[in-house]
Structure 1
Amino acid sequence: MHLPRTVLTTALLAALYVPAAHAEVAIDVIAGSEITFEGLLQADGNWFHNDVADLNGNSNNGNDSEFELRRAELILKGKGPGNIDWVVGYDAKADKFLDTNLRYKFGGNAATFLQAGQFKQPNSLEELSSTKNNDFISKATVTNTFALGRRLGVAYGTGQDNWSLTGSAFGRELTRNLAHGSGYALRGTFAPLMESGQVLHLGLSWADYDTDADTLRLRARPNADLATVRLVDSGELRDTDRMRTIGAELMYLHGPLKLQAEYFDASVKRYDHGDYSSSGYYLSGVWNLTGESWGYKGGVPTTGLPSEPASGQWQLAARFDHIDLNDGSVNTAAAIPVVDGVLGGKMDVWTVGVNWYWRSNFRTSLNYAMADSSKYSSSAGGFVDDKPSSVQARLQFFW
C-alpha cells in the first residue's frame, strides 16, 4: 500500500512546531472543546537467521531481511465541552481507524466513565499500554495471539487510584473487513501496594465473543513482526461457535525497575468437534539505566520523559514467552499417523533489547529474539523443531 504523502507531510510539518516539553500540538478551542493533534511514526527493520522455515519466504527482495514503515498514526483529541472527551484516530500505514470514540466522565472523575465508539477492549495489560512506549518492538506472542484489540462498542468503568473495574459490549472493528464478532469483556485491577516509587499491580480479565464466520485460526510469529511465516499455527478451525479468554496480570514497579507477567487461557467452543483449548504466558523485566521511575494510572504503567533530555533515557529489557497451541495427540504406531484433536505446536521465545528515548519525541530500539518451536508435520510424519533468531531495529518519532 502507498502512503498518502500529503497526510504524512502535513503530520511531519505540524510536529516540527512541538515545544520540547510537550507531546502534542494544541490546535484551538472550538465549541468548548480543547483540540490537540498527536502522531506516531515507526519504521522497522528485521534481519532473520533462519533454521528450518524461511521466515520471510514471501519476500520479493531475496534477502533474509525486511524493512517497513510500521505505523503512521494521526490522532485528534478533544477535551470538553463539560465532562466529555473525544478522540478520532487513523493509521495511514494500515489504512484503518484507531481509537474513535466519545467518553463522558461522571462528576469530572476520569475513573468513572461511559464510553461509546471504537476503543481497546478491557483485557491484557500489554495490549492496553501505550503503543509508543511498548517495552519491546514486538508485543509478547500471547498478547498478539489472544488479546482483543479495538472494537466498536460501549463500556462503563469505575475505580479509584488503586483499583479499577471496566466492562464492555462490543461488535466488529470500525474499519470494514477486519476483526469481527460480537461479545463481552470485563477487566478488574487492584494495587495492594501503591506508594511513591513502588506499585504492585494485580489484574484479571475475561472476554467472550462470537467467532462469527464459524471459522477461527490461532497462530504466532517468532516475536518478529515482519516475519511472513508463523511457526505455530492451529490451522483453520471450522464449526466454531464462541471463544472465551481469561487473562491474569502481575506487575511490580520499584524505582527504575518494572517486572511484568501475563497468563492467557483460551477455549473455543465447537459444534461438531471437541472444544479446543490453548494457553500461554510471558515474563518480562525493564530497567531504566538512567534512573527514571515509572508511573501508574488507570491500571496501566506510564513512561515518563527523560530526566536529562539532552542525553536521553536508556532502558534494558528482557522477556521470556511461551505459547502452547496443542490440544490433541498423534498415534504414531499406526501405519499412517493419525492426529486426534489439534496440534498447533509449542514455542518459547527469549527477547533482549535496549531502548533509548531522546528528548520528548524520539526513540530508537534494538531487539534480539531467539525462538524454539516444535510442531507436528503430517508431511514429515513427526514433530519438526525450528530454532530461528532475529535482530530487530526501530526508529520512532512521536508528538
Structure 2
Amino acid sequence: MKLKAISMAVAAVTAGFVLSASAGVVKTEGEDIIVSTSNGGLQLKTESGDFSFKVSGKLQWDYADYSDLMVDAAKTQDKGRSGYIRRGEVAFSGKAYDSWKYKLKLTSDEGNEKVKLDDAYIDYTGLNPVDVRVGRWDRSFGLEDSTSSSWIMAIERPMIFSALNGGGGNKYGIQLATEGDNYTLSLGLHNNGEVDEENTKQERLASYAVRATFAPVMEDNMLVHVGINYYNANPDKKEDRTISVAPAVKKAAKVDLVNLTSVKSDSEYVLELAGQFQSLQAQAEYAVRDLKSDDANADGKVSGYYGQLSYMLDGGKRSYKGGAFSKPESGQWELFGRYGKIKGEKDGVSEDTEITTYTLGVNYFATKNIRASLNYVNAKLDHKVDADKHDKGSAVVGRLQYVF
C-alpha cells in the first residue's frame, strides 16, 4: 500500500512538470507533412504524396451460443457458449519514393494470446500497368475471400472457403497484378511452407494462384461482377490431406469431408457471380477442390456453392473497387440471407459427406469504424458415419467490431 502511494505521488509530480513545460513546435526537414485521423487511425503523408505512413487495425469481439452438431460431433455435449476475440490486428503501411509501397501486419485471433506475423510485403508500382509484390500476404481467392473480414456480409465467410487453400496460409511468394476501372488480373507464385523438422527430406514445391475479374456493367445504381480463380498446390507425393470444415461458425465442431494419403495433385477453382441493384445485392460462388492420390482408387473431391441476398434498409449500397465489395456509408441497416452446401467425395466410399447451412443476419454500420452484427445459422449433416453423432445443429452469433 505504501509503495502504491509513493508511485502515485511520483506520477503526479511528473505529470505536473510535463503540464507546466512550454509546448514546442514540431518541424520537418523536408516537405510539409499532412496528419490525418479521419478514418480512426493515424496517417502521415507529404504534400506531394510520394511518402506516407499509416497505422491501422481492427478488433472483433464475438459471442456465440450453439448446440448439437455445432458443439460436438461425438455428442459429448449438447450446448456451448463462448465469447472470444475473433480478430485483433494492427498494421503499418505506407509509400516511399512514389513507386514503392509496403505493409506489415501483426495479428492474434480466436483467443490465441500469441501475436504472429500475418502480412509483410513490398509492392513496386513503377512498371505500369503491372504491379509487383514480394513477401508474405493473404492471397485474394474468390469474391467473398477477397472482401475484407471487416465488411463481409455474414460474420463468417461461406463454408466452402474453409475447404480451400487458394486464399489462405499467408505463404511467401511473388505476384504480378494489374487492374483497371472494371477488371483485375493477378498471378502469384508461392512456396508451400517450411520443411518439417521431423522430415527434412520432404520436398517443398511452389504453388501458384490466378484470379481474374470483370465488371461488364458499372453504373451508379447497377453493378454486375464475374470472376474466375485457379489454384494449384503442387504437393509433394508423400503428403496426406484431411479436409475438415466447421459449419459456418468459427467455434463449431469440425466435420471431416475427405481423408487422403500420398496426395500427388491438389488443385481448385472458384467461379464468381454478383450483382448490385441500388440497395439490393445478390452474390453466388461455386468451388471445386480436386485431389489425386498415388494410392490406387483413392482420389477425392470437395465441391460446394453458396448464394446470398442482402438489402440495405436505408437506401445505401456497398462500395466496389478492385474486384471486391467493401463497406457502405455510415448509418446503414442491412438484412441478408445465405444458403450454402458442401460435399466431400472419395473413391471407394459409397456415401458422400454433405453439409447444408442456412444463415439469416442483420448488420448495423453505425459509423465507418463501428459495426454490430447478429447471425442465426442452421446446419445439417446429410451423411452420418455414426448413429450416435448429431446430424443437425444451430447457432446464434453476435459481433461488435471497431476498425481504425
Give TM-score scaled by structure 1 length: 0.81
Report if the CA contact (8 A) 2:93-2:103 is conserved: yes
Q: For the residues of structure 2 that align with 1:170 and 1:52, how far apart are their CA atoms? A: 34
Asked if the contact 2:279–2:312 (Cα under 8 Å) also holds between the matched residues in 1, the reply is yes
Contact 1:34 1:80 in 2 (8 A): yes
Gap change, CA 1:194 and 1:182, over 3 Å in 2: same
SS of 1:115 mapped into structure 2? strand
Q: Residue in 2 aligned with 1:327?
A: 346
Counterpart amino acid of residue 66 in structure 1: S
Matched, 1:118 2:136: yes
Give the whole-Å Cα distance in 2 for the aligned partners of 1:358 and 1:271.
53
Q: Does 1:240 align with 2:259?
A: no
Change (3 A) 1:319 1:79: same
Q: Please report the RMSD computed on the Cα atoms of aligned residues, expressed in angstroms.
A: 2.9
CA distances 1:164-219 after superposition (whole Å, capped 9, x unpaired): 21111011469x99xx8630111111111112231111101110013446111111
Equivalent in the alignment of 2:28: none
Compute the displacement of 1:51 (Å): 5.5
**CA spacing shift, 1:253–1:181, aligned 2, 3 Å:** farther
Cα distance in 2 for partners of 1:251, 1:45 equals 30
Q: Distance in 2 between matches of 1:251 and 1:82?
A: 34
**Structure of larger gyration radius:** 2
Report the 3-state secondary structure (helix = DSSP H, G, I; strand = E; otherwise coil) of the residue aligned with 1:72. Answer: strand
Amino acid at match of 1:195: E
User: Quick one: which of 100, 105, 119 aligns to 1:84?
Assistant: 100
Aligned with residue 287 of structure 1, among 296, 311, 321: 311
Structure 1 equivalent of residue 276 of structure 2: 253
Corresponding position of 1:218: 243
For 1:173 and 1:24, how far apart are their aligned partners in 2? 33
Percent identical pairs in the alignment equals 24
Instruction: Tell me the alpha carbon deviations over residues 232-291 of structure 1, each in whole angstroms, 9 at most, x when there is no partner.
Output: 4323x2111231001100010122221111100111121113321220001011211111
SS in 2 for 1:233: strand
How far residue 119 of structure 1 moved from its aligned partner, in angstroms, is 2.0
SS at match of 1:126: helix
Q: Which amino acid aligns with 1:264?
A: A
The equivalent of 1:297 in structure 2 is 321
Q: 1:342: how far off?
A: 7.7
* Corresponding residue number in structure 2 for 1:127: 145
Q: What's the counterpart of residue 360 of structure 1? A: 368
2:164 counterpart of 1:156: no
User: Would the alpha carbon gap of residues 18 and 388 (structure 1) be closer, same or farther in structure 2, given more than 3 Å must change?
Assistant: farther
- Kindly tell me: are residues 370 and 273 of structure 1, through their superposed partners in 2, closer, same or farther at Cα, counting changes over 3 Å? same
Distance 2:71 2:350 in 1: 21
Contact 1:122 1:168 in 2 (8 A): no
Give distance in 2, aligned partners of 1:313 and 1:53. Answer: 33
Alignment of 1:194 onto 2:218? yes
Give the whole-Å Cα distance in 1 for the aligned partners of 2:315 and 2:81.
Answer: 35
Q: How far off its partner does 1:67 sit?
A: 1.3
Please report how far the alpha carbon of residue 122 of structure 1 lies from its aligned counterpart in structure 2 after TM superposition: 4.1
Pairing partner for 1:388 from 380, 389, 393: 393
Assess if the C-alpha contact under 8 Å between 1:114 and 1:154 holds in 2.
yes
Residue identity in the other structure for 1:90: L
**Aligned equivalents of 1:117, 1:289: Cα separation in 2:** 41
* In structure 2, C-alpha distance between the alignment counterparts of 1:137 and 1:181, rounded to whole Å: 34
Match of 1:318 in 2: 337
SS of the equivalent of 2:319 reads strand
Gaps in structure 1 of 5+ consecutive residues: 1-16, 307-311, 329-339
- Corresponding residue for residue 24 of structure 1: 41
More strand by percentage: 1
Picking from 228, 232, 235, the partner of 1:208 is: 232
Could you tell me how far apart the structure 2 residues matched to 1:249 and 1:369 are? Answer: 23
Map of 1:168 onto structure 2: 188
Q: 1:32 deviation in Å?
A: 5.7
- Aligned counterparts of 1:392 and 1:52: Cα–Cα separation in 2: 12
Assess, with a 3 A threshold, how the Cα gap between structure 1 residues 224 and 158 changes in structure 2: closer, same or farther: same
Letter in 2 for 1:366: L
Quick one: distance in 2 between partners of 1:200 and 1:224? 29
Task: Give, in whole Å, the separation in 1 of the partners of 2:206 and 2:311.
Answer: 39
Alignment match, 2:358: 350
Question: Contact 1:36–1:78 (CA<8 Å) still a contact in 2?
Answer: yes
**For 2:250 and 2:373, how far apart are their aligned partners in 1?**
14
2:159 maps to 141
SS in 2 for 1:284: strand
Counterpart in 2 of 1:64? 80
* Alpha-carbon separation, structure 1, partners of 2:205 and 2:76: 30
Amino acid at match of 2:92: L
> Structure 1 residues 43 and 56, CA, compared in 2 at 3 Å: closer, same or farther?
farther
In 1, Cα distance between equivalents of 2:249 and 2:373:
13
SS at match of 2:92: strand
| Corresponding residue for residue 267 of structure 1 | 290
Distance 1:355 1:106, change over 3 A: same
Q: CA deviation at 1:90?
A: 0.9
